[in-house]
Amino acid sequence: MARPTIVQIQRGGPLDLANYVALAVMYGLGSQALASPRARLIAAALCIGFALTHALLFPKVKDLRTAAAYFALQTLLVTSLLLLSLDDGEFFNFLFYILAITAATLLPLHAAAGWIALFFTIILLINGLLPEPPRFVLIAFAGAVLILCGLFGRNLRATELARRHNQVLLEKLAQTQQRLHELTLTEERNRLAREIHDGLGHYLTATTMQIQGARAVLESQGIASEAPAALEAIGKAEMLLQEALVDVRRAVAALRTASAIWWKAAAHPAGWKRALCCRAARVYSTRRRNSRSIAWRKRG
């Protein structure tokens, strides 16, 4: 099975909820560093834009092009937040950590690594390469967290791919169980066919031979002319037994043919419908010929 380029988490509701809660918390912490109400209002608008972009655009990401548009827009929004709170905006760095997890989960390795490197570069440029120890500590901390977020996202991606692979295996297992059930039915048909042939078929054959022997005795001793009704009854009984024997043999042949068809279908699933249709046509024509033969014998 080919590995998909874009991997969406099927049950990503809890992750989305965590993103929204983290976004609200980061706004609450980061807005305290903003001095003017206007800056807080702009930060709120940017955070709402981040949430709406995730809610509306993220589910539509199906290829690398739409993924690039999504991450470019989100990167622009987070960069704007960082520039807005340039003096004390380390809380908004957390949004890049969220994007790092999303990129590592959604994208293949080379694309995810490129976006995570871009996030780190933006953090590096905004914080600046100043000789102050807090700046270097913040940059080192951001780099380490981005790497951890990337690893966490790759783990989520691997888990989702494993779940999909297991789902495919479960579907194949269900199909195999269905075929095994059909083959079990086939074996039961074969057993019934053998029992009918070995039991009822032999009894009918023996009874037919006994009736034929009784009729021969009546005809050899001249009793047939004295009891024509008895001879006629014996003839009808013989005819009915022969018809019953023909029906038994036809039923046994149908059971065995059906078994052979199911075995062939198990080996070549694509041709089972054609095989069943051909078998149905042959059974129908055989029954018509047998019914015409029986009707002709009764008229005779």
Q: What is the DSSP string of 78-135?
A: HHHHHHHT-SS-GGGHHHHHHHHHHHHHHS-HHHHHHHHHHHHHHHHHHH---S-HHH
Tokens 């005795």, residue? 217
Look at 177 and 294; give whichever has higher pLDDT: 177
Tell me which of 50-54, 108-112, 261-265 is least confident: 261-265
Report pLDDT for 154. Answer: 93
> Does the pLDDT of residue 296 top 50, yes or no?
no
Which pLDDT score, from 0 to 100, does residue 251 have? 72
Place 89 in a pLDDT band, splitting at 50, 70 and 90: low
Q: At what angle do helices 109-127 and 93-106 cross, to 10 degrees?
A: 170
Q: Taking 70 as the threshold, does the pLDDT of residue 294 lie above it?
A: no
* pLDDT given for residue 194 in this prediction: 74
pLDDT at 45 over 90: yes
Confidence at 17, pLDDT banded by 50, 70, 90: confident
Q: Is the dihedral of CA 55, 57, 58, 60 positive or negative?
A: positive
Of 38-47, 245-254, 268-277, the one with minimum mean pLDDT is 268-277
Long-range contacts (CB closer than 8 Å, 24 or more residues apart) made by 261-264: 262/182, 262/183, 262/185, 262/186, 263/183, 263/186
Higher pLDDT, 40 or 257: 40
Reported as half-sphere exposure (CB side, CA atoms, 13 A), residue 54 has a value of: 24
Contact 257, 190 (CB under 8 A): no
The mean pLDDT value for 278-290 works out to 50
**pLDDT for 276:** 46
Please report the pLDDT score of residue 4 as a whole number: 67
pLDDT of residue 261: 56
Of residues 231 and 39, more confidence is placed in 39
Round the average pLDDT of the chain to a whole number and report it.
78
Q: What is the mean pLDDT of residues 222-247?
A: 74
- For the residues 269-294, what does the mean pLDDT come to? 49
What local confidence, expressed as pLDDT, does residue 224 receive?
Answer: 59
